Amino acid sequence: MNTAAEVKTEAVASTSTTADAPLIQVRDLAMTFDVSAPWLNRVLERRPRQLLRAVDGVSFDIPKGKTLSLVGESGCGKSTVARLLLGLYTPTRGSFTFDGQDAHAAFKTPAGNVLRRRVQMIFQDPYASLNPRWTVEAIVGEPLSEHGLITDPVALRQRVGELLVQVGLAEGDRSKYPHQFSGGQRQRISIARALATEPEFLVCDEPTSALDVSVQAQVLNIMKALQKKRELSYLFISHNLAVVRHVSDYVGVMYLGRLIEVADKATLFATPRHPYTRMLLDAIPKMHATGRARTPVQGEVPNPLNPPTGCAFNPRCPLANDRCRNERPVLHLAGTTQVACHAVEEGRG
Amino acid sequence: MKKLLARWLDGDVGYSFRHSPVAIGSALVAFVCIFGAVFANWVAPHNPFDLGALELNDARLPPAWQEGGTSKYLLGTDDQGRDILSTLMYGARISLVVGFASVVLSALVGVTAGLVAGFKGGWVDTVLMRLCDVMLSFPPILVALLMAGVGRALFPNADTAVAFGVLIFSISLTKWVDYARTVRGSTLVERNKEYVQAARITGVSPLRILRRHILPNVMGPVTVLATVQVATAIITEATLSFLGVGVPVTSPSLGSLIRIGNDYMFSGEWWITLFPGLMLVLIVLSVNLLGDWLRDALNPRLN
Amino acid sequence: MTLLQVQNLVVEFPGRRGTLRALDQVSFDIAPGEILGVVGESGAGKSLTGAAIIGLLEPPGRIAGGQILLEGERIDQLDAEAMRHIRGRRIGAIFQDPMTSLNPLYTVGRQLTETILAHLPVTKAEARRRAIALLADTGIPAPEQRIDHYPHQFSGGMRQRVVIALALAAEPKLIVADEPTTALDVSIQAQIIQLLKKVCRERGAAVMLITHDMGVIAETCDRVAVMYAGRVAEIGPVHEVINHPAHPYTAGLMAAIPDPMEDREMLNQIDGSMPRINAIPTGCAFHPRCPQVFDRCHVERPELIDAGPTRAACWLRQEATV
């Protein structure tokens, strides 16, 4: 491990409130995708290899029963982080430790199945996340039968019925097909499926982005209630800061594959430190506007295939100096917030 | 199964069927032909293969409504006294069996290849797709002829079963490519969908994901393809039989009947070749129309 | 004089299982230069209303009743040719997806000048000059070079700016914008909203802004119409509707939206969901979900009733004045 990661370990550890190691520990997680053209094209057209650093060294903790939200705009890598934690990708470097156990090593072994029962995911698209040819009973019951937790078909039906009731649907819905339900109801079915194996950690990838506001409220309320009842830990991915404010305990802001600020919710919304976070909060259209003038963020998110040198935000940052253009900032502690910004470190921001 | 059928009939497909005279018509015709072929043993007025029952005196009788014909042989007889109507039914049976069997074989091979190519990607996909391209560059009839020749060389004293096997194999040899490509495309789409990711997260093995999750969702276009391909296979078999390299002589199919009748066309006994030809057209046309309707009916639902 | 008047608009979809009424007597006005927001959840009919006004209803959908008046003249019954003249020249349109709103095969300049030349009596050189000015106005840097670029050479936010320029090219009096910022990142959203407000105010163009995002409405619009199940539930000045909603649906909706500036334990939820157009309840469409429902609501459908600064389609308002 290099020194940068060690510094991060120290800084990040302060997020947890108990002396025990937090349930979820992520250290220097990175994922690089090879998006080069096919070999033949590369040879013939003399094109270079192209690597996409979707996630570039992310570290955070999530204590048991708490929610960490990852916020950011398109291309920031938050969805990739979610998929990394669930074993859908193998990270290029870094580690994810769940309850003291190295998760990615475990996923490769049969012991990984036990881990898979404890970690589950809820997806963004309520239409693509359920197999249209399967009944709800088959969908929700699949994790149970796959892991051999319930083999008796009668017991399985009953358990599926219980799960559906828990998310606010009816027992009889289990014999229906997904297309007979609305978007919000389908998302509940997704939640029921995720809860089937009684997991401790749920990764939620934009679970309400595709839903109407009133349906979103229903789903978020259910999720909060379930968290209280079962002491679930959530990693909540979203681009919607208002929703993030409602559900989180801690918030991490990502930009171009890097974590640039992590803080507990109240601190982040009251005193955002990083210039990007400030501009992001400023940019959200607000319903109860005070009518004050604002300057929207300039420019757009750069191409992740060709990130700027130094701090990824420097082309758009009003506080950028030479150091920002050359040296990549590391997360350091500023009060109770961790922030990766030279300007903050130097006292300029 | 009953529930599935009920769901289908009630839904968009069933509605479309009930309101499409072409679909109902062609389904009826196809049903009658298939019924006649399947139950030929009981439905046909005579048994054309029972050499003992043949009466040479009744050879070359014209159809019943022409002068010289009798109602005993509705569509006339051929040069050996065989009733044309009965030979039609038995012949259709052979044609249909060969047609369906080759479709089943090519679908099995093609769907599997498509699933594997789409799901695994990488070099497996490349190899399989290039193989498809190679197969497509050969005209199907030529390939079938070649296979038939190779088969005869390999099994010179083949019995009927082996001969049929070679025939079915040679017809399906080029057809599997269509299934492979269609299924590969659909697999590529489904593979990235979130319900597949959910199954992976749960720890379901790739094989089970392919079989239980992806396969049911890519079968739609396959059904349409298979229906139309039955017609193509029957025509291919008829062509081969007409050329003399198809079914063995002892079990004539519609193609062989046409060939036999060809010799007699110019001596005035047109019915020996015309009726098998018409039957072929009828079967192929009705199956094709059904396939067309099915493709249109399934389309909006797929979207 | 009002710029746009929609009066009792009815849009129907004849289908194989009977005719479905997607818009049921929708009425509202837009004054010249005003920004009216049309907000609602999916299925409420807001996009349909926009499509009906521009004359781009997808068949078999058709206008089955009511009228649409642009500057006093009816436009709902015009033939395709006449409607083409209106589109672009008098009504401009901005759609949601910047990727598909521009033709990828033509340069941006060509699309702009084509629109200008089709509607305004100017020379080619003048049209090009105007196009460059439009690009500059919508915040595209180096417009003299960018005018000859293709759409794929622009980023998402830049493309939406070009789309806005295109909508304004023929100097329309009314712009119908259907979810113009939904597909964009939050920071770009803010830029585009500001831009839309600025250029429309400068040109005196009115805007009908269709969206589901109340925050965008709050920052952009003068008045807002809240739609539910193909009807207008409430309409009024934007801050009145948000802060003092008169219709129980609007009130429920406002309370369900999480606020980035404020903590709340549980979000208010409206039980149930918006009815599908083939199952709209009798009487008031909202009555099965309404916390304040009473007998009359089941039977009679309410008209828009004055309730102070706003108008709401709710019998509670009438009881209040009695």
Characterize the bridge pairing of strands C4-15 and C174-178.
unpaired
The Cα–Cα gap between A269 and A251 comes to 9
The Cα–Cα gap between A3 and A327 comes to 15
- Length in residues, chain C: 322
ipTM of this complex prediction, to 2 decimal places = 0.81
Query: Is residue C5 over pLDDT 50?
Result: yes
Split at pLDDT 50, 70, 90, the class of C221 is: very high
Side-chain half-sphere CA neighbours of A29 within 13 A: 31
Query: Which pLDDT score, from 0 to 100, does residue B203 have?
Result: 86
Query: Is residue B3 over pLDDT 50?
Result: yes
Query: Is residue B81 over pLDDT 90?
Result: no
Among left, alpha and beta (phi > 0; psi -120 to 50; other), residue B158 is beta
Chain A positions in Cβ-Cβ contact with residue B204 (cut-off 8 Å): 142, 146
Query: Which pLDDT score, from 0 to 100, does residue C320 have?
Result: 57
Whether C269 sits inside 8 A of A218 (CB atoms) is yes
Domains, chain B: 21-38+83-302 (1.10.3720.10)
SS (H, E, C) B4-46: HHHHHHHCHHHHHHHCCHHHHHHHHHHHHHHHHHHCHHHHCCC
Q: Tokens standing for A267?
A: 């601190």
Domain boundaries, chain A: 3-133+177-287+304-345
DSSP classification of residue B210? I
Each residue's pLDDT tens digit, B236-291: 888 888 887 878 777 778 888 888 888 777 777 777 888 888 888 888 888 888 88
* Mean pLDDT in residue range C181-185: 83
Average pLDDT, chain C: 88
Query: Is residue C254 over pLDDT 80?
Result: yes
More confident residue, C88 or C130: C130
Least confident range from C153-167, C223-237, C308-322: namely C308-322
* Mean pLDDT in residue range C42-49: 88
The Cα–Cα gap between B303 and B218 comes to 13
Nearest to A125 among B194, B213, B216 (CB): B194
Q: How far apart are the two ends of chain A, measured CA to CA in Å?
A: 30
Average pLDDT, chain A: 86
Does the domain spanning A3-133+177-287+304-345 belong to CATH 3.40.50.720? no
* Mean pLDDT in residue range B192-210: 90
Nearest to C268 among A217, A245, A279 (CB): A217
Nearest CA in chain A to B4: A133
Whether A286 sits inside 8 A of C274 (CB atoms) is no
Split at pLDDT 50, 70, 90, the class of B139 is: confident
Chain A: touching chains (3 or more CB pairs < 8 Å): B, C
Chain A positions in Cβ-Cβ contact with residue B198 (cut-off 8 Å): 121, 123, 129, 190, 193
Query: Which pLDDT score, from 0 to 100, does residue A282 have?
Result: 85
Chain A positions in Cβ-Cβ contact with residue B213 (cut-off 8 Å): 131
Nearest to A212 among C212, C261, C268 (CB): C212
Interface of A with C (CB under 8 A): 73-74, 182-185, 212-218, 220-221, 224, 239, 241-243, 245-246, 266, 269, 279-289, 294, 296-297, 300-301
Give strand pairing partners of C23: C11
The Cα–Cα gap between C309 and A338 comes to 47
**Local structure of A261: helix, strand or coil:** strand
Side-chain half-sphere CA neighbours of A153 within 13 A: 1
Each residue's pLDDT tens digit, A17-72: 444 678 999 999 999 998 887 777 777 887 788 888 899 999 999 999 999 999 99
Q: How close is the nearest chain A Cα to the Cα of B112, in Å?
A: 19
In this complex, is the C-beta atom of C243 within 8 Å of any C-beta atom belonging to chain A? yes
The Cα–Cα gap between C168 and C171 comes to 5
Side-chain half-sphere CA neighbours of B105 within 13 A: 18
Each residue's pLDDT tens digit, C260-313: 877 777 888 888 878 888 888 888 889 888 988 888 888 888 888 888 888 998
* Mean pLDDT in residue range C98-116: 89
Residue pair A201/A36 in contact (Cβ under 8 Å)? The answer is: no
Task: Name the amino acid, one letter, at C28.
Answer: F
- Percent helix, strand and coil across chain C, each rounded to 5? 40, 25, 40
Chain C positions in Cβ-Cβ contact with residue A212 (cut-off 8 Å): 41-42, 212, 274
Q: How close is the nearest chain C Cα to the Cα of A108, in Å?
A: 37
> What DSSP element (H or E) covers C269?
none
Find the angle CA(A19)-CA(A21)-CA(A24) to the nearest 5 degrees. Answer: 140
Whether A216 sits inside 8 A of C254 (CB atoms) is no
Split at pLDDT 50, 70, 90, the class of B2 is: low
Chain A positions in Cβ-Cβ contact with residue B200 (cut-off 8 Å): 88
Nearest CA in chain A to B126: A38
Query: Is residue A262 over pLDDT 90?
Result: yes
What share of chain C in percent tops pLDDT 90? 40
Give strand pairing partners of A338: A262, A333
Query: Which pLDDT score, from 0 to 100, does residue B9 have?
Result: 59
Nearest to residue A9, comparing CAs of A33, A30, A26, A31?
A26
Q: How close is the nearest chain A Cα to the Cα of C229, in Å?
A: 14
* C321, burial (CB in 10 Å: exposed 0-12, middle 13-18, buried 19+): exposed
The Cα–Cα gap between B260 and B254 comes to 10
Q: How many CB atoms lie within 10 A of CB A133?
A: 15
Split at pLDDT 50, 70, 90, the class of B293 is: confident
Among left, alpha and beta (phi > 0; psi -120 to 50; other), residue C272 is left
Query: Which pLDDT score, from 0 to 100, does residue A4 have?
Result: 41
Chain B positions in Cβ-Cβ contact with residue A83 (cut-off 8 Å): 197
* Mean pLDDT in residue range C174-199: 88
Q: Would you say the C-alpha torsion B173, B177, B180, B183 has a positive or negative sign?
A: negative
Nearest CA in chain B to A84: B201
Query: Which pLDDT score, from 0 to 100, does residue B1 have?
Result: 54
Each residue's pLDDT tens digit, A92-144: 999 999 998 888 888 888 878 888 999 999 999 988 999 988 999 999 999 99
- Kindly list the distances between the CA atom of residue B84 and the CA atoms of B37, B40, C15, in Å, as whole numbers in the listed order: 14, 13, 50
Each residue's pLDDT tens digit, B12-61: 677 777 777 888 888 888 888 888 788 877 777 777 777 777 777 777 77
